[in-house]
Structure 1
Amino acid sequence: MPVHPAERTSVLAGRSHTRRPAITVDSEPIAVDLGSAQLRMWLGPGGVLSVPLGEGLRRPVVRRGRIVDGPACIAELRRLLRGHRTPVPVGALVVACRPVLAPRADQEVLRRVLTAVLAPSRLLFVDTVRAGAIGAGAAAGTLLLADVGAQLSEVAVLENGQVVAARRADVGTRDLNDAVTAPMLADTVARLVRELRREPAVRPLATAALARGVVVVGDGATRPDLTSRLVAALGVAVHCAASPRTAALTGASLAATAARRHPAGN
């Protein structure tokens, strides 16, 4: 399965992470999903590592899908890896989720953080909505997917796993309070869907995708009050991924495994 166009990174020397075991030809690939609520890493047979980004931190590390404190993010990821029972070798192939429509500057910060922590031999980026579709097992055919995360909601039309068009809004489940209710968040997601459907070039695919229903991943998929409102607002079926909070990481891990097996196709 192809993944998003790659950015190659070199193994850095003279950094503390080089004290970990050196690169081996058979290093397992790594998948990373740096969300606003959780930092998650998939380490192949080593399983999944995660750390919550709670209120104990002096300032946000990731906010609205953007790394806003690079050094703190590096420190959190290194702390996460120190608790892992097996040392993680440098030089692995790494696939990292990035928010859809992320500006180049945000991607560069993500690249620098992951290079400092993992020193990958190759670093590939995959849009979170695409990874979510793969992880939900819904990538084939025409699809409309909504990723409702902690601080960011992303909606995309995909065709056979490729993003055709997308929208995003800086609001998520962590914003739910007296001022932002679940119905309001659902209405925001529904608005993004309608915007996609109004695009002349996208309308036929969006209409076909909506006939299939909307697939929801992210924390929002665990909120029946939100998903039921989404059904009412759009008048279509809403399908929640079986493991919505980790769908994107699962998709990135599948992409990483495929990229390792078929490097020439990237």
Structure 2
Amino acid sequence: MFVSTTVVPDRLPFSGPAAEPPIDTQPSATTRPTAIAVNLGSGQTHVWVAGRGALSCPSGDTAGTSLAPVRRGRVADRSGCVDVLAKLIGQYHDPVPAGPVVVVCRPVLATMAEQYAMRQVVAAVFGSSRVLFIDTVRAVAIGSGAAVGSLLIADIGAELTEVAVLEHGRVKAARRMDVGTRDLKRGAPAELLAHTTTRMINELRHDPTAQALVSAASIRGLMVVGDGATAPNLRLRIAANLRIPVRSAVAPWTAAINGAGLAAMSAGRHPAIP
């Protein structure tokens, strides 16, 4: 499935790089709301709470749910997603205070309907809260300390592959397709992911609005996160196809949730932002 390249503006205030995970400290609840980050992936669900760190579990880890809660990066079973997220939150020793700021990772180019479904899940788990969205690729750039300058990213997940070119942490152009590492386990050819990633990046190379930025970002090479980052043969195939360096991000499994956590803390310091 091909998705349009129109980019949804990102209104989160954070723009600087961060090579380390969010600092595990929590300011007084009387001065600012609790900062929370959520990443509902097709393979793994991650949550981070300021002062308590990050937790994760398989997104399909729900009792009595026949339909996978998240499919191709989209909420397919709202109650299943609520169960997974509530179970993770329940592992923290103390209850999460009311009225938190929750930053939710969204697939790049997510539709309003997809975001609404995520917002419903967050509302069911956290109640009255301020919810902000951040493109997962942007969260990765922040969390891996690569947000400065031009950057080319490929997020190769379990069921969704996204590519984007960013400038100073802002998404300028992107593509996504409904294919991921899980398709290889289901019998798809090994070349599928390399071909898909190569094709989308080549489309960005020929996009007049992104051409110059992609060319500049290619000097740094392609940064890969998600399941694809742990597959050396895949990275080698992509590098051979594109003829640019291809590297794994720092902490490819947690870069997105770390970046979203930093954005949540930043948003908590800017109460005027809706």
Fold conserved between structures, TM > 0.5:
yes
Aligned to 1:13: none
1:35 aligns with 2:41: yes
Q: More displaced, 44-53 or 157-166?
A: 44-53
For structure 1, the 5+ residue unaligned runs are: 7-22
Q: CA deviation at 1:44?
A: 1.5
- Residue 152 of structure 2: which of 123, 144, 153 is its match? 144
Q: Distance in 2 between matches of 1:65 and 1:221?
A: 18
**Superposed displacement of residue 28, structure 1:** 2.4
1:209 to 199, 209, 217: 217
TM-score by length of 2: 0.85
**Residue 58 (1) aligns with residue 41 (2):** no
Distance 1:120 1:233 in 2: 48
SS at match of 2:141: helix
The amino acid of 1:118's aligned partner reads F
Larger CA deviation: 155-164 vs 169-178: 169-178
Structure 1 residues 46-125: aligned runs within 5 Å: 46-54=52-60, 57-125=65-133
Distance in 2, Cα, partners of 1:146 & 1:262: 30
Mapping of 1:1-266 within 5 angstroms? Answer: 4-5=10-11, 25-54=31-60, 57-177=65-185, 179-264=187-272
CA contact (8 A) 1:156 1:167 kept: yes
Taking every aligned residue pair, what percent have the same amino acid on both sides?
A: 50
Question: What is the alpha-carbon distance in structure 2 between the residues aligned to residue 75 and residue 233 of structure 1?
Answer: 41
State the Cα deviation string for residues 218-266 of structure 1 (Å, max 9, x = none): 1110111111111111110012112101111111011111112234467
> How far off is 1:216 after superposition?
0.8
Relative to 1, partners in 2 of residues 1:55 and 1:117: Cα closer, same or farther, differing over 3 Å? closer
Runs of at least 5 residues in structure 2 that lack an aligned partner in the other structure: 1-8, 13-28
- Which stretch of the first structure deviates more once superposed, 174-183 or 85-94? 174-183
TM-score with structure 1 setting the length: 0.88
Residues 265 and 117 of structure 1, relative CA distance in 2, 3 Å threshold: closer
Q: C-alpha displacement at 1:49, in angstroms? A: 1.6
The count of corresponding residues between Structure 1 and Structure 2 is: 248
Distance, in Å, in 2 between the alignment partners of 1:153 and 1:251 is 19
Structure 1: 4+ residue segments shifted above 4 A: none
CA contact (8 A) 1:37 1:52 kept: yes
